[in-house]
Structure 1
Amino acid sequence: MKTKLLSLVSGAVLMVSVAGAQTRNAVIDNMVKEATENSQLKPMAHELLDVIGPRLVGTPQMKIAHDWAVSKFNSWGVSASNQKYGEWRGWERGVTHIDMISPRLKTLEGMQLAWSPGAKKNIIAETIILPLVTDSNAFKAWLPNVKGKLVLISQNQVTGRPDYNWEEFATPESLKKMKEERAAVAADWANRMRNTGLNAKNLALALEKAGAAGLLASNWSAGFGVNKIFGANTTKIPTIDLSLEDYGLVYRLTQSGNTPKLDIKSESKELGVVPTFNTIAELKGSEKPNEYIILSAHFDSWDGGSGATDNGTGTIVMMEAMRLLKKFYPNPKRTILVGLWGSEEQGLNGSRAFVEDNPEIVKNMQALFNQDNGTGRVVNISGQGFKRAQEFIPKWLAYVPQDIRRHITTSFPGSPGGGGSDFASFVAAGAPGFSISSLGWSYGNYTWHTNRDTYDKIVFDDVQGNAILTAILAYAASEDPERFTNEKMTLPANPRTGEPGKWPTPVSPNRKGGL
């Protein structure tokens, strides 16, 4: 009798196991099929990047994007809301148009920097180069020369060709000569800056106070036709970034005494103090609703381009993954959240605020998966210094189709990320936040914070694979009967100081920025 009963129990367990596997495979197969045959990535990318555009914190486009995401989640039957965590200086970009009108006519490529003050009317002015002075007193004596002028505040580049182009075509002698000349020019410019006695921000304010009409900069990104576009330091006059090519033209003309005159239209609006948000979407857990998996991406961007690979791609990956989960896994065992964070670019502010405001969620996290380094397929996942990561991440990855999984290397236990993207906000709090890190596709030079970070740079085949990967990792982490344990590794000693390594600590967000 006991033998028969044991046999029945074993059979029941086997049936449950097989049924579970079939359900598991069906969910995964259905998500993969939907993601490949009915992907929403391209429509979402068009709506977010082409129609709404860049998402600089404090701008109307940022709020429009938050509302768009909530509407999109709701259309899939996913509960979502915008959660306010702070305030920021409100600003709206206007028209930037730049013409050189002397010594010849040419329309120049450039744009005002983020949060640059606008000008009520066109600025028509000659240019002047920041000089090499002996010391800060000599600089103060020179300052009256800037009155009514456009001041060039960036070094002129020796070459507009990236190094890979030189390395492919130049003779060794020519390459060596170019690098030596470039180093000399950089050293000269560093001396010009140093001898003013001012840092970049205070220099801009000093030039503004002395009556400069505007500042001209060029932050080349070491690639053909690409500049980094960050924020202005001026408070009353415009700061304009010119392309390397046009900045070099204006610089050389100024240097040779053929002083150019520019006609600049530079508009922007100050909008006072505006709220800042995170967009949070939720699939409530059916068995363990107070344990959490978070799909993480920052929503904001700089506004030189449209924020496509930083971080439009991460955003649409998490949204598409949630769409797949809602459709084929609507009742997860654990609660699955999507966090689209605000103001990551100014210091992980949205995610740091979420960590600070939601200690119970952070304490009960099963895993967070964050994507934020461009459009390429995921190739690396680190254990972030958690002792038992090696027991969990490979187990979850085993659910992922081989054609996606084969590209991914893992490193355990890894080291805890201290910054760089939003997963670090959670790691600092001792919660298992994992960066799913992708191939570069020239990210650093060509799209990261640049004027070329636009829809056309997205590699949708790779992004589609990332969405499938993320959805399956969330599913596997939700189904896992074990809870991830947050035990930390003992960090190795600092090789320079010999002192024990320290786990990063939580940092409070800036909840009142740009004011």
Structure 2
Amino acid sequence: MKRFLLTAVLLPALMSNNLQAQNKDSLMVAAIVKEATSNSQLQPLGQELMDGIGPRLVGSPKMQQAHDWAVAKYTSWGIAARNEKWGEWRSWERGVTHIDMIAPWVKTLEGTQLAWSPNTGGKAVSGDCIIIPEVKDSVAFQQWLPNVKGKFVLISMAQPTGRPDYNWEEFALKESFEKMKKDRAAQQDAWRKRLSATGLNAKQLAQALEKAGAIGIVASNWSNGFGVNKIFAANTSKIPTVDVALEDYGLLYRLIESGKAPKLSVRADSKDLGMAPTYNTVAEIKGTQKPNEYVMLSAHFDSWDGGTGATDNGTGTLVMLEAMRILKKVYPNPKRTILVGHWGSEEQGLNGSRAFVEDHPDIVSNLQALFNQDNGTGRVANIGGAGFVHSYEYITRWLSKVPEPYKQGLETRFPGSPAGGGSDNASFVAAGAPAFSLSSLSWSYGNYTWHTNRDTYDKIVWDDVRSNAILTAIMVYMACEDPNTTSREKIILPPNPRTGQPGEWPAKRSPTRKGGVE
């Protein structure tokens, strides 16, 4: 009888508590959606960051400007924020790059310096052009090297077509498309052999050309799309390295091969500023009930600087900024502490987030969940369990509160696999913390915006970014409110198919804390 009476009293109370929790969740989700849709700050934030500040190369003045901007923005929203120093990096500032063909006729070429390229001393440098030759072996290459003195050296293959494969596939005869691919593959193989015969890797080749008296290096790193090139870092320390668009690079290459002797004039006004401190920007909304447990938002802040870093990772950055703004407004007193990390030097090896994991073991050990977004402007299309056995239970429960329009087409994979690299969630996974990637639809990310000269504001798809901010804010709210602490139990990884050895969880790695120097 006592048990019956106890059940009769407790069951309605439990049901009432559950209904109250459900009503609270529904009201909070509605508030998040309303704020995100009726008062979105995404486009003003994007314009300020991408257009107003621009690219964010680690160690550069632009990167520092971005860190300071983020702290000021959070402060204006009543969110505590700080820049945390974790290391130092060679500081370099891009200047005007002018690349002109001045013979056999005059044309200004499309191109730019690679990051950390030396400048031309405040003046234009002019000279003839020469191509890396076909040689028998490294001895023959060393004998050829004196030919580069006073010349610009072309070190990339001339592409046979500037049309991406999808364009060929749409319009070409099948046999024409297949012939092009076959010829291109043969050309690529021949070029690899040409470079291999020098006996040098890419860095050693650049240094050898520089030492032999070349006045500049000209490359073209095509990204397999109309008008796009990848823009990475230079391997020279005294002479400029420039990347030239496929069309103009091909022009130079063909002129050289036909004996027309093209001459270039290059002026590059970059500045080497020595070593500079590097930071992560961290912002915090303090928890009220479990302040020493944490839910984190995560996105890398740095970018390459061929474009303005709009989709890598400006859009991920905007998602986290907007989600934090919304949460502060509609959920100012979270159960757990909400943190956001805007990481530095992800592009050079997850250095900012690895430093945070190394410097804040207390936060990592009490991390309820981390949500990282990196790969472009598209709607979140996939969330995996990162190799945590029980991730299905809590991720699915949190996702159930997200309205259908904001998880349309979203797939989940459980328990998934632990990320060994790729983006900053991997830094936390390696430390055993439940960190999850919010992986996006492509929008031709790999070809057109990932590390390219076309990664700019106009490529942002604002409806998708807004959807991602809503999804992120709801997931953070749900993780904060969850009465349970998330499990860290890991899956047993399958054997490595190449070695047959048992699978191993990714190892925690230390960051490079002094970068850009030998």
The two structures have a TM-score, normalised by structure 2, of 0.98
**Structure 2 residue identity aligned to 1:304:** G
Tell me, yes or no, if structure 1 residue 372 matches structure 2 residue 379: no
In the TM superposition, what is the alpha-carbon distance from 1:13 to its structure 2 partner?
Answer: 4.0
Residue of 439, 442, 455 corresponding to 1:440: 442
In the TM superposition, what is the alpha-carbon distance from 1:22 to its structure 2 partner?
Answer: 2.3
Hey, what's the Cα distance between the residues in 2 that align with 1:19 and 1:157? 64
Cα deviation, 1:407-462, whole Å, max 9, x if unaligned, reads: 21111111111000000000011110100101000000000000000000010000
Q: How many residues align?
A: 515
Partner of 1:331: helix, strand, or coil?
coil
Aligned to 2:31: 30
Aligned to 1:110: 111
Cα deviation, 1:461-514, whole Å, max 9, x if unaligned, reads: 001000000000000001000100100000011122221111001011000000
In the TM superposition, what is the alpha-carbon distance from 1:5 to its structure 2 partner?
Answer: 7.8
Hey, what's the Cα distance between the residues in 1 that align with 2:412 and 2:132? 49
Aligned to 1:268: 270
Cα deviation, 1:147-201, whole Å, max 9, x if unaligned, reads: 1000001010010000011111111221122112111211221111111111000
Residue of 489, 495, 498 corresponding to 2:497: 495
Aligned to 1:62: 63
Aligned to 2:312: 310
Residue of 214, 217, 228 corresponding to 1:215: 217
Cα deviation, 1:350-397, whole Å, max 9, x if unaligned, reads: 000000011111111110000000000001010011000011100000
Hey, what's the Cα distance between the residues in 2 that align with 1:406 and 1:190? 44
Aligned to 1:248: 250
Aligned to 2:289: 287
Matches within 5 A, 1:114-153: 114-120=115-121, 121-153=123-155
Gaps of 5+ in 1: none
Matches within 5 A, 1:446-485: 446-485=448-487
Cα deviation, 1:39-86, whole Å, max 9, x if unaligned, reads: 111000000000100000011000000000011111111100000000
Hey, what's the Cα distance between the residues in 2 that align with 1:303 and 1:169? 34
Cα deviation, 1:112-161, whole Å, max 9, x if unaligned, reads: 00000001120111100000111111111111110100000101001000
Aligned to 2:40: 39
Residue of 484, 505, 508 corresponding to 2:507: 505
Aligned to 1:96: 97
Gaps of 5+ in 2: none
Aligned to 1:162: 164
**Structure 2 residue identity aligned to 1:440:** S
Partner of 1:316: helix, strand, or coil?
helix
Hey, what's the Cα distance between the residues in 2 that align with 1:138 and 1:376? 50
Residue of 385, 388, 393 corresponding to 1:386: 388
In the TM superposition, what is the alpha-carbon distance from 1:12 to its structure 2 partner?
Answer: 4.3
Hey, what's the Cα distance between the residues in 1 that align with 2:324 and 2:81? 11
In the TM superposition, what is the alpha-carbon distance from 1:7 to its structure 2 partner?
Answer: 5.4
Segment drifting more, 115-124 vs 403-412: 403-412
Cα deviation, 1:245-268, whole Å, max 9, x if unaligned, reads: 000001100111101111111111
Cα deviation, 1:248-290, whole Å, max 9, x if unaligned, reads: 0011001111011111111111111100000000011111111
Hey, what's the Cα distance between the residues in 2 that align with 1:167 and 1:228? 23
In the TM superposition, what is the alpha-carbon distance from 1:6 to its structure 2 partner?
Answer: 6.4
Hey, what's the Cα distance between the residues in 2 that align with 1:15 and 1:419? 45
In the TM superposition, what is the alpha-carbon distance from 1:405 to its structure 2 partner?
Answer: 2.0
**Structure 2 residue identity aligned to 1:162:** P
**Structure 1 residue identity aligned to 2:103:** S
Tell me, yes or no, if structure 1 residue 182 matches structure 2 residue 184: yes
Hey, what's the Cα distance between the residues in 2 that align with 1:18 and 1:192? 71
Aligned to 2:22: 21
Hey, what's the Cα distance between the residues in 1 that align with 2:471 and 2:159? 42
In the TM superposition, what is the alpha-carbon distance from 1:99 to its structure 2 partner?
Answer: 1.2
Hey, what's the Cα distance between the residues in 2 that align with 1:102 and 1:87? 43
**Structure 2 residue identity aligned to 1:47:** E
Tell me, yes or no, if structure 1 residue 361 matches structure 2 residue 335: no
Partner of 2:59: helix, strand, or coil?
coil
In the TM superposition, what is the alpha-carbon distance from 1:11 to its structure 2 partner?
Answer: 4.5
The two structures have a TM-score, normalised by structure 1, of 0.98
Hey, what's the Cα distance between the residues in 2 that align with 1:166 and 1:13? 64
Aligned to 1:227: 229
**Structure 1 residue identity aligned to 2:421:** G
- Report the identity percentage: 66
Hey, what's the Cα distance between the residues in 2 that align with 1:165 and 1:251? 24
Hey, what's the Cα distance between the residues in 1 that align with 2:496 and 2:12? 55
**Structure 1 residue identity aligned to 2:439:** S
Partner of 1:94: helix, strand, or coil?
coil
Aligned to 1:397: 399
Hey, what's the Cα distance between the residues in 2 that align with 1:76 and 1:20? 28
Hey, what's the Cα distance between the residues in 1 that align with 2:481 and 2:270? 50
In the TM superposition, what is the alpha-carbon distance from 1:18 to its structure 2 partner?
Answer: 2.9
Aligned to 1:323: 325
Segment drifting more, 398-407 vs 245-254: 398-407
**Structure 2 residue identity aligned to 1:458:** I
In the TM superposition, what is the alpha-carbon distance from 1:16 to its structure 2 partner?
Answer: 3.5
Hey, what's the Cα distance between the residues in 2 that align with 1:405 and 1:117? 47
**Structure 1 residue identity aligned to 2:101:** M
Partner of 2:382: helix, strand, or coil?
strand
Hey, what's the Cα distance between the residues in 2 that align with 1:463 and 1:353? 28
Partner of 1:355: helix, strand, or coil?
helix
In the TM superposition, what is the alpha-carbon distance from 1:25 to its structure 2 partner?
Answer: 1.6
**Structure 2 residue identity aligned to 1:410:** T
In the TM superposition, what is the alpha-carbon distance from 1:23 to its structure 2 partner?
Answer: 2.2
Hey, what's the Cα distance between the residues in 1 that align with 2:465 and 2:184? 38
Partner of 2:269: helix, strand, or coil?
strand
**Structure 2 residue identity aligned to 1:101:** I
**Structure 1 residue identity aligned to 2:260:** N
Hey, what's the Cα distance between the residues in 1 that align with 2:498 and 2:94? 46
Hey, what's the Cα distance between the residues in 1 that align with 2:477 and 2:175? 57
Hey, what's the Cα distance between the residues in 2 that align with 1:23 and 1:501? 43
Hey, what's the Cα distance between the residues in 1 that align with 2:105 and 2:26? 68
Considering only aligned residues, what root-mean-square deviation do their CA atoms show, in Å?
A: 1.3
Hey, what's the Cα distance between the residues in 2 that align with 1:402 and 1:222? 35
Aligned to 1:193: 195
Partner of 1:227: helix, strand, or coil?
coil
Cα deviation, 1:307-327, whole Å, max 9, x if unaligned, reads: 000000000001100011100
Hey, what's the Cα distance between the residues in 2 that align with 1:4 and 1:187? 82
In the TM superposition, what is the alpha-carbon distance from 1:404 to its structure 2 partner?
Answer: 1.4
